[in-house]
Amino acid sequence: MTGFDVDLFVIGGGSGGVRAARIAAGHGARVMIAEEYRMGGTCVIRGCVPKKLLVYASHFHHDIEDAAGFGWTIPPATFDWPTLIANKDKEIARLEAAYTANVEKSGVRIAKTRAVLEDAHTLRLASGEAVTADHVLIATGGAPNHGRPIPGIEHVISSNEVFDLAALPRRILIQGGGYIALEFACVFAGLGSDVTVVYRGDNVLRGFDQDVRSHVRSEMEMQGITILTGCTVDKVDRHGQEFTSHLSNGSSIASDKVMFAIGRHPNVANLGLEKAGVAINPGNGGIAVDGFSRTSVPNIYAVGDVTHRINLTPVAIREGHAFADTVFGHRSVRVDHANIPTAVFCQPEVGTIGLTEAQARAQFTAVDVYKASFRPMKATLSGRDTRVLMKLLVDASTDRVVGCHIVGDGAAEMIQVLGIAIRMKATKADFDATMALHPTAAEELVTLRTPSARHVRAANL
Ligand SMILES: Cc1cc2nc3c(=O)[nH]c(=O)nc-3n(C[C@H](O)[C@H](O)[C@H](O)COP(=O)(O)OP(=O)(O)OC[C@H]3O[C@@H](n4cnc5c(N)ncnc54)[C@H](O)[C@@H]3O)c2cc1C
């Protein structure tokens, strides 16, 4: 028992904060958590979960089209956006209530308010109440970043607003080339909107394997999505319900909605970090932390998107759990940020783990590349013009599989399971020794016999 009001005060009721609060309470700590918006945070309220529901909704378009080749005659289908959004809202409200109930059940006190640091041990709530805490966890997440101010930026929506549009836009322009931009491009295209993606770089999905980037782009273009690279939106004009986006290449595009998904910034502003002495990482703008999520102030920790390390829900959860075990469970746990499986829920989806080909070639002297691009079985009867990409990268000197990249239906599910093998340092021989499961797309991963390339780095002379 300390002289503080609580042993732990958590700022932010999202993925990281909720997990940390519950685990710390389970270890016997007196915990309070503050949430200024809705319990569950970005993932539950306006991120992963509602996004995936919209992704499911948009898939039906393809499924209905594909059914014809299998003998089905389906009368012209209609889609009702307000029904989808109302059902999505109901599910999100259910999840929010479940989060709240579980947190309360674990003995954590919830303050439905904004909290900021007054000093290293004092939190000020919006009501004016001050709460003292032995330890503080900052788990305030991140927010969409619209980039430089451009004329008409007030007309632009972000992923925060996209989940609550009153109507399905007939035409939408989305600026951005990352996973959120591409996922929404495919969602809207699947639901019947005319979609244009504008991205300043040379190709979408920066940071992903080059083959994945070009495969995804061509698949999206085949679905009728226009992708304009090497340009930006410089100005947005409004004419009644319509918008004109003026691009840096001199062209302009009319649409019913303009959405930017060009990045997210960590929520560090106006939190009282300076008063408490919490340092920012100059490299990424997030809160600077060590391997145990400890900030520059010994009793203050930070987890999740606010640290801007790897902005994914399972990572925030793992960091929050590790923090609680380390500080209150007397068991030092450091989160391993290597080999995190990730997905892009575009259509077809991407699943990836480990190194890209470029990273593997930079890291290892000899890299074998195994690659297959093939027509999925379902497409033979549906007639859909689509291909699956599968790629394995192998460190030739140890035979270890150091990267795996899949574009195709089910890629996310495949890569989650494959993640176990990669973490266990599976070799290409282990893949080869695994019996294929026929007929699946995944069997290709264990039947890739011949490398499509071997890259050997020339010795430095
Ligand atoms: C559109 C979209 C799709 C995504 N899809 C995926 C996906 O498919 N898979 C995946 O793994 N990740 C996905 N993410 C990322 C994922 O949502 C985040 O990585 C995750 O939510 C981070 O959790 P967190 O606890 O760090 O922060 P958050 O979940 O953002 O929670 C922070 C909470 O703190 C609250 N808060 C902030 N400041 C204060 C304050 N001063 N006082 C009180 N409360 C405060 C906020 O209201 C918020 O609820 C997606 C994100 C977006 C935007």
For the question of residue 438 being annotated catalytic, the response is yes
Q: Ligand 1 in contact with 286 (CB < 6 A)?
A: no
Please name the residue whose Cα sits nearest to atom 50 of ligand 1.
Answer: 47
Say how many Å lie between the CA of residue 246 and the centre of ligand 1: 31
For 399, left (φ over 0), alpha (ψ -120 to 50), or beta?
left
Under 8 Å between Cβ of 133 and 8: yes
Q: What is the pLDDT of residues 118-150, one digit of tens each?
A: 999 999 999 999 999 999 999 999 999 999 999
Mean pLDDT score, 169-180:
98
pLDDT at 2: 74
The model carries a pTM of: 0.97
Categorize the per-residue pLDDT at 186 as very low, low, confident or very high, splitting at 50, 70 and 90.
very high
Name the residue among 231, 229, 236 with its Cα closest to residue 149.
236
**Residue 82 CA, distance from chain mean position:** 25
Q: Beta partners for 369?
A: 393, 453
Mean pLDDT score, 233-262:
97
Ligand 1, from 48, 118, 158: best to mutate by most atoms within 8 Å of Cβ? 48
Q: Ligand 1 in contact with 15 (CB < 6 A)?
A: yes
Predicted confidence (pLDDT) at residue 456 exceeds the cutoff of 60:
yes
- The active-site residue out of 59, 155, 438, 455 is 438
Categorize the per-residue pLDDT at 1 as very low, low, confident or very high, splitting at 50, 70 and 90.
low
Ligand 1: nearest atom to the Cα of 345: 8
At 233, which helix (H) or strand (E)? strand 233-239
Name the residue among 244, 138, 239 with its Cα closest to residue 196.
244
Ligand 1: nearest atom to the Cα of 162: 1
Q: What is the pLDDT of residues 200-220, one digit of tens each?
A: 999 999 999 999 999 999 999
Q: Ligand 1 in contact with 174 (CB < 6 A)?
A: no
Q: Beta partners for 344?
A: 350
Categorize the per-residue pLDDT at 333 as very low, low, confident or very high, splitting at 50, 70 and 90.
very high
Q: Ligand 1 in contact with 187 (CB < 6 A)?
A: no
Q: Ligand 1 in contact with 40 (CB < 6 A)?
A: no
Residue 364 structure tokens: 């290892």
Mean pLDDT score, 153-174:
98
Residue 28 structure tokens: 């016997």
Mean pLDDT score, 395-406:
98
Helices 81-105 & 15-26, crossing angle to 10 degrees?
20
Give the whole-angstrom CA distance, residue 230 versus residue 413. Answer: 33
Least confident range from 22-31, 170-179, 452-461: namely 452-461
Q: Ligand 1 in contact with 293 (CB < 6 A)?
A: no
Please name the residue whose Cα sits nearest to atom 48 of ligand 1.
Answer: 41
Say how many Å lie between the CA of residue 112 and the centre of ligand 1: 16
What is the chain's Cα-based Rg? 24
Mean pLDDT score, 224-252:
97
Q: Ligand 1 in contact with 182 (CB < 6 A)?
A: no
Under 8 Å between Cβ of 208 and 182: no
Name the residue among 207, 177, 216 with its Cα closest to residue 348.
216
Q: Ligand 1 in contact with 139 (CB < 6 A)?
A: yes
Q: What is the pLDDT of residues 49-106, one digit of tens each?
A: 999 999 999 999 999 999 999 999 999 999 999 999 999 999 999 999 999 999 999 9
What is the biggest distance separating any 2 CA atoms in the chain, rounded to whole angstroms?
73
Say how many Å lie between the CA of residue 299 and the centre of ligand 1: 23
Ligand 1, from 9, 10, 35, 43: best to mutate by most atoms within 8 Å of Cβ? 43
Q: What is the pLDDT of residues 267-287, one digit of tens each?
A: 999 999 999 999 999 999 999
Name the residue among 138, 129, 122, 108 with its Cα closest to residue 17.
138
Percent of the chain having pLDDT more than 70? 99
Ligand 1: nearest atom to the Cα of 18: 25
Q: Ligand 1 in contact with 16 (CB < 6 A)?
A: yes
Give the C-alpha distances (Å, rounded to integers) separating 345 from 177, 185, 411: 13, 10, 9
Give the whole-angstrom CA distance, residue 278 versus residue 297. Answer: 6
Give the whole-angstrom CA distance, residue 419 versus residue 319. Answer: 19
Under 8 Å between Cβ of 102 and 256: no
* Average confidence score pLDDT of the chain: 97
